[in-house]
Every structure is written in structure tokens, then in C-alpha cells.
Amino acid sequence: MSLPYLADNKTVRFLFLPHEHDPDSFVREEGKEAFEKRLGDSRPLSEFLLKELKSRTDLGTAEGRSRLAHEAKPLLQKSPLRRSDCSC
């Protein structure tokens, strides 16, 4: 995972293309503007991780919230941006 490589001057975002495409084939078929629009709609790493973790738990229960915190903790600890801030 890219977490250990994060730094203040780097941004990690997730761009999801149709299953049959890679970036090159998408641009060839849909065009540069369509690809740039998708880039603009890409999700930051933090949003992607939180959505993924939330989908695995029931946040309506204390157990679900505890599981979310438990699963997020090692990910946060791998991020160099959070190591000095995290009391995990």
C-alpha cells in the first residue's frame, strides 16, 4: 500500500475506470476531456479508506465503531503524516 510513501508534498487519489479500460485505452476511446473529468472526480486516499472501512462495519453499534477504529489504527500508523500526531 502507498501509505508509507506519503509526504506533505504528495497526494494519493483513487480513480476508477470501467473494468475493460486502463488509462491509455480509456483516453483513446473516450477522449482526453472525459479522462480529465474522471481525474477531477477521483477520491482522496482518506475518503477511499474511510468509505471502505465503513462498508465493513455497522456504525450504528458500539461494536461496529470499535471495529472501525481497530481496523483504521494500523493504517494511520503507517502514514508518515500521522505518526507524530497519532497517540495510537
pLDDT(88) > 50: no
User: What's the pLDDT at 4?
Assistant: 60
Q: Are 64 and 56 in contact (CB under 8 A)?
A: no
Say yes or no to pLDDT of 72 above 90. Answer: no
Specify the higher pLDDT residue, 68 or 87: 68
Q: What is the dihedral of CA 53, 57, 58, 64, to 10 degrees?
A: -100
Length of the chain: 88
Q: Is residue 6 very low, low, confident or very high in pLDDT (cuts 50, 70, 90)?
A: low
Angle at 13 between CA 45 and CA 2, to 5 degrees: 65
* Rounded mean pLDDT, 39-57: 88
Task: Note whether 46 and 57 are within 8 A (CB).
Answer: no
**Mean pLDDT (whole number) for 5-23:** 81
CA distance 50 to 55: 8
Q: How many other C-beta atoms are found inside a 10 Å radius of the C-beta of residue 49?
A: 20
